[in-house]
Amino acid sequence: MTISRAYKYRLYPKPDQFPFLSRHFGSCRFVYNHFLDLREKSCAAGTPLSGFACKRMLPSLKEEHPWLKEINSQSLQQSVLTLELAYRGFFKGLGKHPVFKSKHGRQSFRVPQHLSIRGNCLYIPKMKTALKMKLHRPVAGEIKSCTISRTPSGKFFVSFAVEQEIDTSSRNASLPAASNVEGYDLGLVNFTTSSSGEKVETPKFLRKSLGKIEKLQRSVSRKKKGSKNRDKARIRLARCHEHIANQRSDFLHKQSRKAVDENQVLCLEDLNVKGMMLYGRLGLSVGDAALGEFVRQVSYKALWSGKRIARIGRFYPSTKTCSECWLVNDHLMLNDREWTCRHCGTVHDRDHNAAKVIKTVGQDLPEVTPAEKRTSVFSMKGMRRRSKKAQAPGDDTSTSVKQEAKASR
């Protein structure tokens, strides 16, 4: 099976290489913002521009701004392509409307061709000297492109997009088919609760660092704009946010890898994370827990490992349903951590009971397949887009699962 994968490494450019990278960041950002403004004005005038039309306008833009000729032409074309993909995602309802890029946030540019790795050095077009990087693991697969980025704290990274072949048959055959099925209930008090009773407490990295963030933000606001001290305070604040993001990413990768390695079939709930973030005070906790990112990581890691994912319906009452007699307790409140079934008298732990219900319902689905996989190919030259979607059975299973649950009572 062919998969798309990314490898990220830390870059250590020399001081004389900073101007080259800064010019590339600024030029690609300028091209993106220029054509975003042009497309917005043309759309308001009733003559919308396509991505291919914008790409054909790049040579005239270089004549108008000669300093763009010093930049890799393919990197500028990738900025136009990125804008076109952002518009397509917005029109399909997959993302927000494209906005202008700022020089104060994360900076990046893409190199699609003519790059090479020699030892611990990266060679890219227009740059005569090599970029030193920390190659902590080999790049496996065929390199399709690379993206060089700079974080707000001033660190440089390179990410390689590769395609590689993996064999999932041997991994799948080495595990028992029936004994490794687990259901997971995701929450805010306990990050995950498995059907076997294991609980993982939510670390709350952002909550624990709010005091430090507020102190650093006050320090930034009190500094004079444009001063060196304000820039130093801004970097300290950016490093704090980066540390929190790294903590969260490390925790999510460890938990998702553990769940995939220990089970053959993983049963999860289809959560509306964006809707949950609108619940007032709970919104910050939902974003801090990153439940959607955990489900995403489990999904692609299960696909790579030959495991299976089952998702029950979003509106199925897994928390209110008794895992013993399947009676639905409509009077259960959010603050009820334990409840007693009025039919069979079983005392339930709220999260553990939900995990057992998710496991029972998930493994009884007609087919349990990996999560939805979507691949798309887009060509600026021919304006062609081919999309292949393999929708997993069980995405709209609220009605069928309810019928099966009633029949099993």
Q: C-alpha 370: how far from its chain's center?
A: 17
Highest mean pLDDT among 177-181, 291-295, 330-334: 291-295
Do residues 329 and 339 make contact, with C-beta atoms less than 8 angstroms apart? yes
**Residue 394 — very low, low, confident or very high, per pLDDT cuts 50/70/90?**
very low
189-215, pLDDT tens digit by residue?
899 999 988 999 999 999 999 999 999
The set of catalytic residues is 185, 269, 351
Q: What tokens does 85 get?
A: 């993909």
Tokens of 36: 């975003």
Q: Per residue in 353-388, pLDDT tens?
A: 999 999 988 887 544 343 333 333 333 333 333 333
Reported confidence tier of residue 390, pLDDT bands at 50, 70, 90: very low
How many whole angstroms separate alpha carbon 247 and alpha carbon 227? Answer: 31
Task: Express each pLDDT in 20-44 by its tens digit.
Answer: 999 999 999 999 999 999 999 999 9
| Domain residue spans of the chain | 2-165, 176-203+239-408
- For the stretch 128-183, pLDDT in tens is 999 999 999 999 989 999 999 999 999 999 999 999 888 766 554 444 444 588 99
Instruction: Give the pLDDT of residue 107.
Output: 96
**Contact call for residues 381 and 374 (beta carbons, < 8 A):** no
Q: How far apart are CA 292 and CA 297, in angstroms?
A: 9
Amino acid code (one letter) for 329 = N
Provide the mean pLDDT of the chain: 85
Q: Starting at the earlier edge strand, list the strands of the sheet with 199-201.
A: 199-201, 190-194, 181-186, 265-269, 308-312
Q: What is the pTM of this model?
A: 0.82
DSSP character for 278? T
Give the pLDDT band of residue 294 (cuts 50, 70, 90): very high
Q: How far is CA 68 from the centre of its chain?
A: 32
What pLDDT, on the 0 to 100 scale, is given for residue 169? 64
